[in-house]
Amino acid sequence: LKTVWLIAGFLLLLAIIVVASALSRLRDGRGRRRKGNRHAGKGDYNEHERSHKKPASATKDRKDALMHELLELDKEFEAGKLSKATYQERRARIKARLRTLMSEQEAPRR
């Protein structure tokens, strides 16, 4: 009897995951279509965007460097080399720079 409930619970969980995934993909597909059509007819938009865009590799390198910095900070804190206050302050500062970088990266897409 316990096995039956276990299998039923597993199947229910699987069904929930499948439905959530399908709804997520459906929603993402609609958003992409809207974004793609939003700038239709504005030929000079892409030219303007290209001229003011930072190279993708430089942005990715900066993002990777910040992520690495966060990782090293976490390791130092776990090793006991930093106080909690110092750790939280540095982590907040790095995360703020990372958020700024990512929002700059998102802005051209909008």
Please give the pLDDT value at position 17. 93
71, two tokens:
């990782």
pTM for the whole thing?
Answer: 0.46
Q: Are 104 and 60 in contact (CB under 8 A)?
A: no
Note the pLDDT of residue 90: 93
Q: Quote the CA–CA distance of 91 and 89 in Å, as a whole number.
A: 5
| pLDDT given for residue 108 in this prediction | 67
Provide, for the chain, the percentages of residues in helix, strand and coil under a 3-state DSSP scheme, each rounded to the nearest 5: 85, 0, 15
- Between 65 and 34, whose confidence is greater? 65
| Residue pair 109/38 in contact by the 8 Å Cβ criterion | no
Question: How confident is the model at residue 33, as a pLDDT?
Answer: 52
Contact between 108 and 48 under an 8 Å Cβ cutoff? The reply is no
pLDDT (tens digit per residue) in 4-59: 999 999 999 999 999 998 888 887 766 555 555 444 444 444 444 444 555 667 77
Indicate the domain borders of the chain: 2-28+55-109
The pLDDT value given to residue 91: 92
**Residue 79, pLDDT score:** 93
Q: How confident is the model at residue 109 (pLDDT cuts 50, 70, 90)?
A: low
The CA radius of gyration of the chain, in Å to the nearest whole number, is 22
Q: What integer pLDDT is reported at residue 26 of this predicted model?
A: 81
d(CA 79, CA 9): 41
